[in-house]
Structure 1
């Protein structure tokens, strides 16, 4: 190639060039680059769309309830349209429910001239069933729910779901009213984060009604590609929930539900925590109701195999929603993996179950393990499955109960005649050594080990 060099400057003053030519040339180059990049991103977007269909089927298909099929993809230079058929199958013998999902895609790198991204996707939903579509139109007569997704240049995505406020009346007169809801979903690599906010809604019928107030939900999950198991946290909070019907009123105030799944050293653990500020039902009121439980030290490898096997069995079923009988080979694998899980030393942890009544708090803590599984054989496991009572000989259970005498008496008396009998005999149980007293606090420990039961270290019936 001949090298072009700049000639030495002459003495004559150079003619001044109009900047319009440079601007025009720059614009042509830029437009050409954008057009070329857009064509490239159009191809990428189709791959993203195909991946979306595959991911949806991989996620929802194992349930046997939802199947997703791409029926059309019309590709253009700056925009494309993807149409999906989503079939929601009844677990019984009902007629499947068909939904048409239309994704209107703007290609990058400047989709819709609204920013820099690989693509933006606006999703619309319609129903094949005319009655369902009519109900949907009645529920949202002016503005339909919108789902807007931005697919980043690096492949991550951010989705925004907005559901307008509305109201609908069913044929039986039931009135459902809801306030506007908003949700965000962000996917980056193996991490997914979600947030949902909903001020609430009401259901009113001839038999009663229900009200939900102030819902917020957040979640974070981490799941590697090709893995059935993941880790993460989730939290759902409600300002209040109330139910009216059948002559009963139930009211919950300040409800919080949280969960966490962790993995360390090849073992998984999962915890769920339920906290209710107040609970009013049947003329009774309790506060600070807490149920904190979890499982720990669950071997990850056999658990992964079990989940994968069940997913594969569901995907291979003849009809969505109907689980086929496992083949003999699959049954043997499942049995072997269950034994590996049990031999790994899993535990059910009762971090705290407590309730507060006017007389005070009563709390229960404890742990349940399966030490007998260390020598468990496949035939013995089959016997346990047929006769669950045999499980007692494999378990080790420790339950600790603690509370003031007034609180325990108040709580057990509220459950009827059996509880009242226990309340009347607390003194006798203490004298027999089944209960320990420290000031005004009573406590006891229930143990089950190898089929033998003790209360506060004493065998029952001593």
Structure 2
């Protein structure tokens, strides 16, 4: 009996099987799953950044506390409220002066990352606002800034770098007849690792007071503050860098008297040379007009340039850190104003004196690079320097003895001062001081040998070398 189904021929295709039924795709389910994973990831990241933001805020607070302590202020945390996406920190900054203290309340509103306030990617965004603690000062502050308060907005990047924007609104306020009008202040501060850059700008303000028929007015025109600093590491309290403050103009007019200043430039520069630091501070004024006994006195090209060189970097850094920590731990220590070591423990005082001796033994030099005054009658210039070469042989007990007998340091010092100027310029300068001009007559000083003449220039050369004094090369008895 044969099979009714014939065998398949190798040349004839096999019958096609029906394709399996496919289920319809579920894009909504996939999207929901993706959104859930994204939300979970964001929630986890936010929780991590919430904790990290608190740590960063604590670091920033510690930095603020150290800087405030260096200027005699005190910082304490009032509260810290931590939330999931938002936290709030409240600090009290206290300034003490003349037996009285003033408090400033600082509030940090913190938006956590990784998308703080959905404005960018980072660990956190901190908005800092301020208000006086005193109720009367608070009321005046509210009148000055009725709509928007000054604030600093700091964005903390994923790597810990920060960028802060300073925003102080402009405004006008009148108190007891005096009207003050100020322009907005703005700027930025960037911190990247151990590098800090600052750039602030303020167009200025005007003040007017009608008085009782004797109006007074004043103005400040365009102020800028720029700077950059690079530290060796987070433990370096000094760093290297430069800062510059400029003031285009300032004026004060009261009745018939007036004061005008233009072109103020203040700069500070710290550089390294091997294991030593050199610091320079310069004050320059373009023009200065002051009231005088015979009418306005006009001065120009005022220059005061100071430098402190050959400072051993390591002992200076240790000493600075020690004093900053002591000011932070004991901000109200008695005697700290007259003796900065008074706030230290006995062990810390021993360490501080050792660092101070190390500084002195390397013979740092304080230089008056230039003190110059230009008048219509000519220039008067003063230069000089001070060093302590005798301190190289000091012992710790001898160093302690100098605190009780500061005059003993004169035997360790080398001092040099040089004065030069025309007779007309010196006469004009002394004449601005009224009675001093009568006591310091130029001809009398020349006759007594206190001044020397070379052409049209008068000069003075005072030297004090470890107990031996000379004036213009002649011994002083």
Fold conserved (TM > 0.5)? yes
Q: In the superposition, relative to structure 1, how do residues 322 and 27 fare at CA in structure 2: closer, same or farther (>3 Å)?
A: farther
Alpha-carbon separation, structure 2, partners of 1:247 and 1:65: 40
- What CA deviation, in whole Å up to 9, does each residue of 1:254-287 have, x standing for no partner? 1110011223333222111000111111232110
- Unpaired runs of 5+ in structure 2? 1-18, 337-341
Count of residue correspondences: 442
DSSP 3-state at the match of 1:75: coil
Out of 380, 389, 396, the residue aligned to residue 362 of structure 1 is 380
Q: In the superposition, relative to structure 1, how do residues 71 and 265 fare at CA in structure 2: closer, same or farther (>3 Å)?
A: same
Out of 180, 198, 204, the residue aligned to residue 200 of structure 1 is 204
Alpha-carbon separation, structure 2, partners of 1:335 and 1:50: 32
Out of 130, 138, 159, the residue aligned to residue 125 of structure 1 is 130
The residue that corresponds to 2:316 in the other structure is: 303
DSSP 3-state at the match of 2:236: coil
Out of 213, 217, 241, the residue aligned to residue 250 of structure 2 is 241
Contact 1:41–1:108 (CA<8 Å) still a contact in 2? Answer: yes
DSSP 3-state at the match of 1:90: strand
- What CA deviation, in whole Å up to 9, does each residue of 1:392-428 have, x standing for no partner? 3222122233334443443344434554644224764
Alpha-carbon separation, structure 1, partners of 2:334 and 2:126: 30
The residue that corresponds to 2:472 in the other structure is: 456
Out of 311, 314, 323, the residue aligned to residue 327 of structure 2 is 314
TM-score (norm 1): 0.83
Contact 1:73–1:83 (CA<8 Å) still a contact in 2? Answer: yes
The residue that corresponds to 1:343 in the other structure is: 361
Contact 2:74–2:331 (CA<8 Å) still a contact in 1? Answer: no
Q: In the superposition, relative to structure 1, how do residues 331 and 459 fare at CA in structure 2: closer, same or farther (>3 Å)?
A: same
More displaced 10-residue stretch of structure 1: 420-429 or 52-61: 420-429
Contact 2:190–2:196 (CA<8 Å) still a contact in 1? Answer: yes
TM-score (norm 2): 0.81
- What CA deviation, in whole Å up to 9, does each residue of 1:69-92 have, x standing for no partner? 15122221xx21222131414234
- What CA deviation, in whole Å up to 9, does each residue of 1:164-207 have, x standing for no partner? 1122334x544433211112111111111111111112344559
1:401 aligns with 2:419: yes
Give RMSD over aligned pairs.
Answer: 3.4
Contact 1:53–1:70 (CA<8 Å) still a contact in 2? Answer: no
Alpha-carbon separation, structure 2, partners of 1:377 and 1:210: 55
Q: 1:195-344, aligned counterparts within 5 Å? A: 195-204=199-208, 210-223=218-231, 224-244=233-253, 249-281=258-290, 282=292, 283-317=296-330, 319=332, 323=336, 325-344=343-362
Alpha-carbon separation, structure 2, partners of 1:109 and 1:388: 58
Deviation at 1:241, TM superposition (A): 2.0
Alpha-carbon separation, structure 1, partners of 2:304 and 2:460: 19
DSSP 3-state at the match of 1:109: coil
Q: In the superposition, relative to structure 1, how do residues 374 and 49 fare at CA in structure 2: closer, same or farther (>3 Å)?
A: closer
DSSP 3-state at the match of 2:284: strand
- Unpaired runs of 5+ in structure 1? 1-11
1:41 aligns with 2:58: no
- What CA deviation, in whole Å up to 9, does each residue of 1:236-267 have, x standing for no partner? 00011234569853321111100112233332
Deviation at 1:98, TM superposition (A): 4.8
Alpha-carbon separation, structure 1, partners of 2:349 and 2:357: 12
Deviation at 1:52, TM superposition (A): 2.3
Q: In the superposition, relative to structure 1, how do residues 127 and 458 fare at CA in structure 2: closer, same or farther (>3 Å)?
A: closer
Alpha-carbon separation, structure 2, partners of 1:126 and 1:397: 49
More displaced 10-residue stretch of structure 1: 221-230 or 79-88: 221-230
The residue that corresponds to 2:143 in the other structure is: 138
The residue that corresponds to 1:67 in the other structure is: 75
Deviation at 1:360, TM superposition (A): 1.6
Out of 439, 446, 449, the residue aligned to residue 462 of structure 2 is 446
DSSP 3-state at the match of 1:229: coil
The residue that corresponds to 1:9 in the other structure is: none
Alpha-carbon separation, structure 2, partners of 1:138 and 1:19: 60
1:182 aligns with 2:186: yes
DSSP 3-state at the match of 1:254: strand
The residue that corresponds to 1:424 in the other structure is: 443
DSSP 3-state at the match of 2:142: helix
More displaced 10-residue stretch of structure 1: 292-301 or 263-272: 263-272
- What CA deviation, in whole Å up to 9, does each residue of 1:335-379 have, x standing for no partner? 333333222201111111111000222222222111121223444
1:435 aligns with 2:441: no
Alpha-carbon separation, structure 2, partners of 1:426 and 1:91: 44
Q: In the superposition, relative to structure 1, how do residues 131 and 320 fare at CA in structure 2: closer, same or farther (>3 Å)?
A: farther
DSSP 3-state at the match of 2:304: strand
Alpha-carbon separation, structure 2, partners of 1:95 and 1:402: 46
The residue that corresponds to 1:5 in the other structure is: none
The residue that corresponds to 2:16 in the other structure is: none
Greater C-alpha Rg: 2
Q: In the superposition, relative to structure 1, how do residues 319 and 367 fare at CA in structure 2: closer, same or farther (>3 Å)?
A: closer
